[in-house]
């Protein structure tokens, strides 16, 4: 039960945190405090940019991009599966036709053998 809840919650959080809406929200939360307090000096700005913006705002974008890639991969897998299943159906049909032709040829060979035995 606990694992199922954790999986469910993890899926919901992963989806929610990897949306472009979350990117805009985090970006706004990162930029708004600059109105009241700005980092001092180049090192302060670099630390602010790296620690706050890249870790806060870039992660939702990375999640969004990876989720989109996963959706594209899933779509490709489904298309490939459908194509393979169609080909499998065609192969089964051709195999059934080949079996019928083989049976017809066996009957024809048996008939020819009987006729050869009768003539001899």
pTM score of the predicted model: 0.47
Q: Closest Cα to residue 53, out of 73, 78, 75, 31? A: 31
pLDDT value at residue 74:
86
pLDDT value at residue 7:
76
Q: Is 23 exposed, middle or buried (0-12, 13-18, 19+ CB in 10 A)?
A: buried
- Listed by start position, the domains of the chain span 2-94
Kindly give the confidence (pLDDT) of every residue in the chain, 120 residues in length, as a single tens digit, with 9 standing for 90 and above. 787 887 787 778 777 877 788 878 877 887 888 888 888 888 888 888 777 777 776 777 777 777 777 788 888 888 999 999 999 999 999 999 999 999 999 999 988 888 888 876
Per-position b or e across 95-104, b if 16+ CB within 10 A of its CB: eeeeeeeeee
């Amino acid at each position: 039960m606990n694992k199922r809840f954790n999986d469910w919650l993890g899926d919901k959080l992963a989806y929610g945190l990897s949306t472009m809406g979350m990117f805009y929200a985090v970006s706004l939360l990162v930029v708004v405090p600059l109105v009241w307090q700005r980092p001092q000096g180049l090192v302060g700005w670099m630390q602010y940019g790296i620690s706050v913006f890249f870790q806060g705002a870039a992660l939702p974008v990375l999640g969004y991009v990876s989720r989109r890639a996963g959706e594209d991969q899933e779509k490709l897998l489904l298309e490939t599966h459908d194509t393979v299943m169609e080909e499998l159906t065609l192969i089964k049909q051709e195999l059934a036709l080949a079996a019928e032709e083989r049976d017809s040829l066996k009957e024809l060979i048996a008939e020819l053998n009987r006729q050869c035995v009768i003539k001899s």
